Amino acid sequence: MELLRLIHGYQFNNALAFLFPTPYALATLVLFVWSLGPALKGELRGGFLVWLRLTWVLTLIPVVTGVILSLGGAKVPSATAVQGTQTKYGYPADPSRDWEHWMYSAFCLLSLYVLEVLVRGKLVEHRRGLRFLPVVTLFLYGCAYMVGRVAVFPGSTPGT
């Protein structure tokens, strides 16, 4: 179980952690920056698709480990009090953060699915769909960032 917690909860501990706290958030930020090219040029190259697939992998690793941990009874660290009413990060425990963590994770999966639809050009004309890539990837980055944030920091309702 500890190995799963280590894999699932890995975070960067450097000066740029405020911008991308996890490897997943970094991958989605790179995907956002990379999406600007296809949106402006109107053509998609193989490198973007490879990075999109890597982002899928970096999404599914924490999803699978999170589901396994959840089935084992674990909750997000910001929702779990370890020392009285404090979390392992020293903040007040906020049980509402657990469902938020799941919500942002679901938004990440939904965003990746929408990206797949846009790059394949099935529901939307291909060149028009590419123009929406930066919007969807920015939303994906925001959700990926929030997945890590709600795991650490309490919300507006700690202790309730």
CA 7, 115, 108, 29 torsion-angle sign: positive
Q: What tens digit of pLDDT does each residue of 98-139 get?
A: 899 999 999 999 999 999 999 988 888 888 889 999 999 999
Q: Give the pLDDT of residue 53.
A: 96
Q: Give the pLDDT of residue 159.
A: 58
Which residue ranges make up each domain of the chain?
1-7+21-151
CA distance 160 to 112: 33
Three-state SS annotation for 58-101: HHHHHHHHHHHHHHCCCCCHHHCCCECCECCCCCECCCCHHHHH
Burial of 45: CB neighbours in 10 Å, binned 0-12, 13-18, 19+? exposed
Phi, psi of 15 (to 5 degrees): -70, -25
